[in-house]
Amino acid sequence: MDHARLARETVDTLAPYLKELMDRQIPDPEAPLNKIEAFRLWRLIYPKIALRSGVIQAAKKIIEENSAGNRAALTHQLTQVYRTNEHIALEVMEIIRSHPRQEEEPTPQSRADYFFQPTSPGKEFSAEQVSCQVCGTKDETLRLVSYPYVVSLIIVTFRRVFQGVYCGKHANRYYFLAVFITMTIGWLGIPFGFLFTPLTLSSLLTVDKKLRPANAKLLLEIAKSRLETDERNAAAVYLKESLWLEDSEQARSLAKKLLPELGPAAQPSFTFQLTSLLFNFLTVWIMGFLIGLVDGVISLPLETGSENVSILVMVFSYLPLILLLFFGSYMAAHLSGETAQRVQLDSKWSGRIFTITLSLGVVYAIFTGKFLAINQMGSHLDPQNFLDSLFYYGGMIFNGGWQLILQIFVGKAPTYLLFLIFVLLGGVLFLWNLLDHITQSVQWQHSLDEITGSMAQESGTLAVLTTALLVLIFSLVFGTVFFLTS
Ligand SMILES: [Zn+2]
* DSSP characters over 135-162: T---STT-EEEEEEEEEEEBTEEEEEEE
Determine the residue type at 225.
S
Surrounding ion ligand 1 within 5 Å at CB are 132, 134-135, 137, 167, 170
d(CA 436, CA 226): 29
Buried b (16+ CB within 10 A) or exposed e, 251-281: beebbebbeebbbeeeebeeeebbebbeebb
CA of 319 to the centre of ligand 1 (A): 29
> What global pTM score does this model have?
0.72
For residue 267, is it left (φ>0), alpha (ψ between -120 and 50) or beta? beta
CA of 136 to the centre of ligand 1 (A): 6
CA of 135 to the centre of ligand 1 (A): 4
Give the burial class of 109: count Cβ atoms within 10 A of its Cβ; 0-12 exposed, 13-18 middle, 19 or more buried: exposed
Return per-residue pLDDT of the chain as tens, 486 residues. Answer: 788 888 888 888 888 888 888 887 777 777 777 888 888 888 888 877 876 778 888 888 888 888 888 888 898 888 888 888 878 888 888 888 776 554 444 433 333 333 333 344 444 456 777 888 888 888 889 999 999 999 988 888 888 888 888 999 999 999 999 999 998 888 888 888 888 888 999 999 999 999 999 899 999 999 998 888 888 889 999 999 999 999 998 899 998 888 888 877 778 889 999 999 999 999 999 999 999 999 888 877 766 555 556 666 777 778 888 899 999 999 999 999 999 999 988 888 999 999 999 999 999 999 888 888 887 655 555 556 676 666 667 677 777 777 787 777 776 666 677 888 889 999 999 999 999 999 999 999 988 888 887 765 567 888 999 999 999 998 888 777 666 665
- Check residue 318 and report its DSSP letter: H
Give the burial class of 110: count Cβ atoms within 10 A of its Cβ; 0-12 exposed, 13-18 middle, 19 or more buried: exposed
Of the candidates 18, 26, 24, 13, the one whose C-alpha atom is nearest the C-alpha of residue 60 is: 18
CA of 277 to the centre of ligand 1 (A): 29
pLDDT at 100: 54
CA of 165 to the centre of ligand 1 (A): 9
CA of 268 to the centre of ligand 1 (A): 32
Task: Count other Cβ atoms within 10 Å, centred on residue 180.
Answer: 15
d(CA 349, CA 340): 13
CA of 219 to the centre of ligand 1 (A): 16
pLDDT at 116: 34
CA of 166 to the centre of ligand 1 (A): 5
Of the candidates 294, 302, 299, the one whose C-alpha atom is nearest the C-alpha of residue 327 is: 294
pLDDT at 426: 94
Of the candidates 121, 126, 165, 134, the one whose C-alpha atom is nearest the C-alpha of residue 147 is: 165
- Under DSSP, is residue 59 helix (H, G, I), strand (E, B) or coil? helix
CA of 173 to the centre of ligand 1 (A): 9
Q: In terms of residues, how long is the chain?
A: 486
- Check residue 189 and report its DSSP letter: B
CA of 244 to the centre of ligand 1 (A): 21
Of the candidates 432, 458, 464, 404, the one whose C-alpha atom is nearest the C-alpha of residue 281 is: 464
Strand partners, 147: 162
Task: Count other Cβ atoms within 10 Å, centred on residue 93.
Answer: 18
Residue 37 main-chain phi, psi, to 5 deg: -65, -40
pLDDT at 105: 40
- Looking only at the bridges linking them, the beta strands covering 156-166 and 143-153 are antiparallel
